[in-house]
Homo-oligomer: A and B are copies of this chain.
Amino acid sequence: MTTLTPIAAPDAPPPAGHYSSGIRANGLIFVSGQLAIEPDRTPRADLDFASQARLALANMLAVVRAGGGSPASVAKVTAYIVGVEHWPVFNAVFAELMGEARPARAVVPVPELHHGCLVEVECIAVAGGE
C-alpha cells in the first residue's frame, strides 16, 4: 500500500480548509493551488499582477521545497489568471522565479479567484532523492 504523505510548508500560508498544502505520493509531489496570500494568510489582492504572481509562485515553491524538491523538480505548472492580458507579465515573473527550470505549463484564464486574487498556481513535481 502506497503511503500518501501530507506536506506542511512553514514558509507558505497554512491551509484554510479541508486540504493539505501538498501531498507526496508515488514519487510525485502534488501542490495545492496557491494564491497571492502572505504566509500569515493575509490576502494580497491589493498588489499589482506581477507582485501577486511573485507571491503565489513563492508559496508554490515553498511547498515544493518542504516536500524535498526545488524549481528543477517541477514537472508541470497550471496557472489560473484573471485576464489573459496578464500572460506576458506572468511569463516574465515565472522566468524570474523558476530560473533555469522550464517545466510543462498551462495558463488558464478564469473569471475570478478566491479572495479577489488575480492569479493562482499549482504544480506537480518529482519528489527529490528518489
Contact = CB atoms under 8 A, between A and B. Distances in A.
Given A4-B73, A4-B75, A75-B25, A106 B91 contact: no
Contacts of A48: none
A75 B110 contact: no
Nearest to A73: B4
Q: Determine the interface band of chain A, counting residues with CB < 8 A from chain B.
A: 35 or more
Contacts of A21: 104
A22 B104 contact: yes
B23 A84 contact: no
A76 B75 CA distance: 15
A65 to B, nearest CB: 15
Q: Binding site of A, secondary structure by majority: helix, strand, loop or mixed?
A: mixed
Contacts of A76: 23, 30, 32, 124
Nearest to A76: B30
Contact of A17 (B17, B25, B91, B108): B91
Contacts of A33: 105-108
Contact of A26 (B98, B113, B126): B126
A43 interface: no
